[in-house]
Structure 1
Amino acid sequence: MFIATISPRSTGKTTIMAWLLHALHERGYPVTGFDADESEQLYRWWEARPDGSYPFEVHRLANGRFHEEAPRLLPDGHIGGVDCGHLENHAGIGWSVLRVADLAIVACAATNSDVERMEELPMDHFINQVIPKRADKKKPNTWVLLCRVQPGSTVQPKGIRKGLMADEWNVFTTMIPSIQLYASTAEGVPIKAAGSAFDELVTEMEHRGLISK
């Protein structure tokens, strides 16, 4: 299966996918990474990995033929984690990724401006446009992940989550805090996901039946 992080603009998608891949691996899921962002940040982090870190492969595949090329590179039984480029600027790549994505995670900072950016794209229309091109002719399973949440902040993220759900978005209860541990992710920086918000996210994904071994 393919899990893709998407958003209209920069919202920490690369950090989210890097940590999620590690969290899945640490929980016993075989994973393969795919960098479908022309910045190639995820690939550069993987390429600069110290020995023993990033115990999985990451492929560079930022082009409009992702839906044709990526399935051939995904080993049987693996979860393919896809870091997708900004949909506002790389629509062709985004649609290609969504043609094969089994789960689309919409990364949304817990701010009104990021929610407005989703509405301006609009995100739901962008996703729906790919339905005729998908093999199953169905919308990919889509969940919003609130990220860059300020520690100790409760009122605003809860309000944003409530508003998104009122607009019929699925929204994870797990939220990714804006802390130095995640902000310092970079080339050569090892990741240990046990006990992190991403470990919690994997648990929620399992409980919701989005992933299984």
Structure 2
Amino acid sequence: MLIASLKPRTMGGTTNTGLLAYALARAGHPVTCYDADESLQLAAWARDAGDFPCEVHEADTPAFAEVVYPEMNHDRINVVDAGHAENHPDIVDSILEVVDLVLLTLSPTNPDYERLTKPERGTPLAKVIKRSAALRESGQPPTTNVLLNRCQ
């Protein structure tokens, strides 16, 4: 299974990704993480934690579907931190092509909702997810759930 953590330009997405992976691993699930955010904050976060129970691979490439995904152990839970989608649409498009589940971190504020639906610049993330259907074998966008959360 591949779970993508997406977010519009908001705070807390990488933290949520790390905490999700940590909780799944501590619950006994085999988990591998992929940091597809060009800032590579998840990789740094895991390295600095010292006891992070998952391996984190740097995967900030627009060829995620062609290069990273085929090499994954698909018997594990794989979690990818996709970064700010509007800043890296080529990476996000490639992830959406192969992901099983999208967790969309969204702060419960009107400005962050507007970043999702009608950002000042860039393509709305809701539209990016919807258009990924054309790239997917199923012809459908991935299942997407919104996590209303604000991490500081």
* TM > 0.5 fold call: yes
> Alpha carbons of 1:46 and 1:73: their partners in 2 closer, same or farther (altered >3 Å)?
farther
Partner of 2:35: 35
**Whole-angstrom distance in 2 between the partners of 1:46 and 1:68:** 25
Residues 72-92 of structure 1, C-alpha deviation per residue, up to 9 Å, x if partnerless? 332231111110021111110
1:39-58 matched pairs, under 5 angstroms: 39-50=39-50, 53-58=51-56
Please say if 1:122 is aligned against 2:121.
no
Q: Distance in 2 between matches of 1:70 and 1:115?
A: 30
Aligned match for 2:99, one of 98, 101, 116: 101
Percent identical: 39
Q: CA RMSD in A?
A: 1.4
Distance between the aligned counterparts of 1:76 and 1:130, measured in 2? Answer: 21
Distance in 2 between the 1:80 and 1:135 partners?
19
> How far apart, CA to CA, are the structure 2 residues paired with 1:123 and 1:80?
22
The residue number in structure 2 matching 1:203 is: none
Which structure carries more relative contact order (alpha carbon 8 Å, separation 6+)? 2
Higher-strand-fraction structure: 2
Aligned equivalents of 2:59, 2:134: Cα separation in 1: 23
Deviation of 1:22 (Å): 0.6
Note the 1:151-162 alignment, pairs <5 A: none
Structure 1 or 2, whichever has the larger Rg, is 1
**Corresponding position of 1:6:** 6
Report the CA distance between 1:136 and its aligned residue. 1.9
Task: Give the 5 Å matches for 1:196-207.
Answer: none
Q: Secondary structure at the match of 1:63?
A: coil
Question: Which deviations, in whole Å up to 9, do the C-alpha atoms of 1:175-208 show, x marking residues without a partner?
Answer: xxx4xxxx4xxxxxxxxxxxxxxxxxxxxxxxxx
The within-5 A match list for 1:153-192 is 178=151, 183=152
TM-score (norm 1): 0.66
CA distance in 1, matches of 2:89, 2:69: 20
Single out whichever of 36-45 and 131-140 deviates more from structure 2. 131-140
Q: Deviations over 1:105-152 (max 9, x none)?
A: 11100111111111114222111111111122211000000001xxxx
Q: Corresponding residue for 1:22?
A: 22
Kept in 1, the 8 Å contact 2:8–2:106? The answer is no
Amino acid at match of 2:106: C
User: Which blocks of at least 5 consecutive residues in structure 1 are unaligned?
Assistant: 149-177, 184-213
SS at match of 2:62: coil
Gaps of 5+ in 2: none
User: In structure 1, how many angstroms separate the alpha carbons of the residues matched to 2:138 and 2:36?
Assistant: 22
**Which runs of 4 or more aligned residues in structure 1 lie more than 6 Å from their structure 2 counterparts after TM superposition?**
none
